[in-house]
Structure 1
Amino acid sequence: MGIEVRPADVFADVAALVGPKRPDANVCWCLSYRLTSKENTSLEREARGRTVRRLCAEDPPPGVIAYDGDEPVGWAAVHPRADTSFATNRKIPHVDDVDVWSVWCIRVRPGHRGHGISHALLDGAVEFARSHGAPAIEGYPVDNGGEKVDLTMAYVGTKSLFERAGFARAAETTSVLNGFPRVLMRLDLG
């Protein structure tokens, strides 16, 4: 398997990974953390897709995509923390004043799971942040202690996934997802 991770600047590929089957459906589009809560809740149906289309055209785009050949098989949302709702999130602390980037969603298409794509996505997110001058990158995975995480909640990743990518625990959080505490994991890129 030759997985290649590239910037998420092709809207159709992002839509295939995080968009709804029906364009008028009111789903996340991976905007819940990318926008402020007020912006996110103000967007409905087709407006959510139009917003993602606009973000794909920006520099930097909203994340990275894993491709198996020409097929998009995975997504990771990664962007400067200052441009996300993590900038003001009371449950996820700020470690310091570094202009850190955040990776908050890792999603692999059904039929492609269990082949290491989430590892490639996280590595790709790190390289993407580094190539845009990020001094550090953070993630906020669950500390599941090896227990199974419900697939609908697995998008944040696990502590062990981040550890294998070189991240270290930087802080505790008061955030809980699927009954598991979330931890702040960080990798310095300098």
Structure 2
Amino acid sequence: MKKIILSGEIPGILAYADNQPIAWCSVAPRDKFPSLDRSRVLKRVDDLPVWSIVCFYIARDYRHKGLSVRLLKEAKKYCKARNVEILEGYPTEPRKDLMPDAFAWTGLSSAFKQAGFKEVARRSATRPIMRCRLK
């Protein structure tokens, strides 16, 4: 995070409570995340230009309160204002009703669905690729 901020790049979407940062959603052009293309599960679906949501952080006291859905909706607004046509995410789909928070850092597919994303590919039982068309 420090490296991103020092470079002058926008690190994504931040949420605040009482003037304190409580949550973060990483969003940027997919090309900023070269490790995605090295993954057999998360490799490109097609050659369309997309922006990617790759990570969330939500402070412990604010988890399980719908904040990830709000962050996703704000990420959509942010991208729309930058003329992004397709926003893509790589959430986890838990095999059980509840999973440890430490494993939910890419977001949950249920939150992406609530924010208007649709599954476009699945190369793993627990990792769909989900997209939202912004135009």
Normalising to structure 1: TM-score of the pair? 0.65
Look up the match of 1:188. Answer: 133
Instruction: Name the larger-Rg structure.
Output: 1
Instruction: Structure 1: state its 5+ residue gaps.
Output: 1-28, 30-48, 175-179
2:25 is the counterpart of 1:76? yes
CA distance in 1, matches of 2:77, 2:45: 21
**Residues 87/53 of structure 1: CA separation in 2 closer, same or farther (3 Å cut):** same
Mapping of residues 56-95 of structure 1, within 5 Å? 57-58=8-9, 61-85=10-34, 86-95=36-45
CA distance in 2, matches of 1:100, 1:94: 10
Identical columns (%): 30
Give the letter aligned to residue 183 of structure 1. P
Instruction: Structure 2: state its 5+ residue gaps.
Output: none
How far has the Cα of 1:90 moved from its partner? 3.0
Asked which structure has the greater RCO (Cα within 8 Å, sep 6+), the reply is 2
SS at match of 1:181: coil
- How many residues of Structure 1 are paired with residues of Structure 2 in the alignment? 134
Task: From 112, 117, 136, give the equivalent of 2:86.
Answer: 136
Give the letter aligned to residue 43 of structure 2. P
SS at match of 2:84: coil
Mapping of residues 79-118 of structure 1, within 5 Å? 79-85=28-34, 86-118=36-68
Normalising to structure 2: TM-score of the pair? 0.88
- RMSD in angstroms over aligned alpha carbons? 1.8
Look up the match of 2:5. Answer: 53
4+ residue segments displaced more than 6 Å:
none
